[in-house]
Amino acid sequence: MSNPKVVVYTSDDCTNCDRVITKLSEWEVEFEERNITRNREYFKELQSKKVYGTPATFIDEEKVLGFQERKLKRTLGIQYEDRFLNTDAMNFS
């Protein structure tokens, strides 16, 4: 996915919001943060999307609710290593 539009709805004192912002920054993903605590219009905008909690990340209109690192990576097209997958262990012969 090249240059997706990423919008993250956050609120004050939200640990998972901070985690989403930190990961997106680590992955060098450009995003717009919309804090619903500080801006009532953002709050109404989020409610119009039938979402009532933060963090809520929209990646080209696909939503990722809460902090879901694997789903964020998958939706952004970022490769991730599955620490539970061992290809040698999959050979059962």
**Domain count of the chain?**
1
Q: What is the pLDDT of residue 79?
A: 78
- Cα separation, 76 vs 2, whole angstroms: 9
Q: What is the pLDDT of residue 83?
A: 53
Which residue in 74, 20, 7, 75 sits closest to 46, CA to CA?
A: 7
Burial of 55 (0-12, 13-18, 19+ CB in 10 A): buried
Q: What is the pLDDT of residue 1?
A: 46
- In the predicted model, what is the mean pLDDT of residues 66-88? 78
Is 93 a member of any domain?
no
Burial of 59 (0-12, 13-18, 19+ CB in 10 A): buried
Q: Supply the pTM of this predicted model.
A: 0.83
Domain membership of residue 11 as a residue range: 6-87
**CATH number of the structural domain spanning residue 27:** 3.40.30.10
Is 83 a member of any domain?
yes
Q: Both ends of the chain: CA-CA distance in Å?
A: 38
pLDDT tens column, 7-55: 999 999 999 999 999 999 999 999 999 999 999 999 999 999 999 999 9
